[in-house]
Amino acid sequence: MAAQEGEREPLLHAQAGAPAKDRTGVGFPWLTVVGFAFLTFNSAMAIYRSRGDRGAVAFVAFSYVDLVSLFLCLRWHERAPPASVTRRMLKVAVWVLVMVLAVGFSYKVAAVMPVPVMKVLVWWMAAATVLGGSYAFFLHRKRKGTMLATLRSHSQALRDAAWSGVRFIVDSGATRHAVGNMWLLESYKPFIPPFVAKLADGSSLRILGIGHIKRGNFSIPNVSHVEGLLDGLISTAQLDRHHHLISCLGNGVCRIMEADGTEVGGAILEDDDTYVLRFLEVPGSAQV
């Protein structure tokens, strides 16, 4: 018996020491710390660049506090005992924080939508997300991923609405590719705060972000999201300067070619005297 107890003793010591080992810092959440530092740095830089714009500063600060609170509540929710009152309260807190964040971002996005119907679609998506999330979080416990599926579904609806009737006009006067609707762009990167571009007549335009047009017959990188545009503009200057493509306009047709003559894009002159793009696929080697 003594021998058996002696054999068990090291195992008992190891089990007793395991929690102490965890408490000494093993498994330190480096990814969480790095993510928090990155979020803090970017928020601070956004606030610094937004000096003088109280609305932008308030929105960045609100988003930062909401996200940090959300991450903390999620972490506490994971550690709370199952079916406990604390866990249920944290679930409510997470839902409220997500709802407030969704409403805040919807307000900002709707404010820059050029067409009223797009504003309605943004708010409709926010309402559907909140309602769908409530159902998935509190009522339908067995099925996971419902909120994500709802978000994807309504994001696709907004993209389809944006592409309905859109025109891309080949413009020799524009200095950059531009669209007025962010839902036309993939891999969208917002500018916080927005850049301001001065026009030749002294007026200014706000550039809200940048992304990639990629759908059907179109693949165009480095497209700016410019407030107030109805039609998309494809700049012949940017096609030349950034993508090394040649644009030839004449006889009601615009041909966009590589240096060796390979045609990668084309436009037709319409009744309003604008060349409307039919297709354009910027080659991968020219997507800089």
Which range is most confident: 81-85, 111-115, 152-156, 186-190? 186-190
Domain count, the chain: 2
Least confident range of 50-64, 176-190, 210-224: 50-64
Those residues with Cβ within 8 angstroms of residue 240's Cβ, 6 or more apart along the chain or in another chain: 246, 247
User: Residue 231 belongs to what domain range?
Assistant: 168-286
Q: How far apart are CA 244 and CA 286, in angstroms?
A: 7
Say if residue 144 is in the same domain as residue 172. no
Q: How far is CA 44 from CA 47, 190, 195, 282, in A?
A: 5, 16, 18, 36
Indicate whether 4 pLDDT > 60: no
Say if residue 279 is in the same domain as residue 177. yes
Other CB atoms within 10 Å distance of the CB of residue 211: 21
**In which residue are the tokens 């993510």 written?**
35
Indicate whether 15 pLDDT > 50: no
Say if residue 132 is in the same domain as residue 246. no
User: Residue 134 — very low, low, confident or very high, per pLDDT cuts 50/70/90?
Assistant: low
Those residues with Cβ within 8 angstroms of residue 104's Cβ, 6 or more apart along the chain or in another chain: 59, 62, 63, 66
Q: How far apart are CA 176 and CA 234, in angstroms?
A: 7
Say if residue 123 is in the same domain as residue 19. yes
The domain that holds 275 is classified in CATH as 2.40.70
User: Residue 171 — very low, low, confident or very high, per pLDDT cuts 50/70/90?
Assistant: very high
Residue 133 has a pLDDT of 67
Question: Where is the domain boundary, 97, 126, 161?
Answer: 161
Question: Where is the domain boundary, 96, 131, 161?
Answer: 161
The upper half-sphere exposure of residue 65, i.e. CA atoms within 13 Å in the direction of its Cβ, equals 8
User: Residue 253 — very low, low, confident or very high, per pLDDT cuts 50/70/90?
Assistant: very high
Mean pLDDT on 274-288: 84
Helix (H, G, I), strand (E, B) or coil at 8: helix
Question: Where is the domain boundary, 102, 134, 161?
Answer: 161
Say if residue 10 is in the same domain as residue 123. yes
Q: Could you give the angle at the alpha carbon of 43 between the alpha carbons of 37 and 46, nearest 5°? A: 140
Say if residue 76 is in the same domain as residue 157. yes
pLDDT tens column, 99-128? 888 887 777 777 767 767 777 777 777 777
Say if residue 75 is in the same domain as residue 205. no
**In which residue are the tokens 């102490």 written?**
20
Say if residue 150 is in the same domain as residue 225. no
Q: What sign has the CA pseudo-torsion 280, 284, 286, 288?
A: positive
Q: What sign has the CA pseudo-torsion 139, 142, 144, 150?
A: negative
pTM of the model: 0.49
Say if residue 145 is in the same domain as residue 21. yes
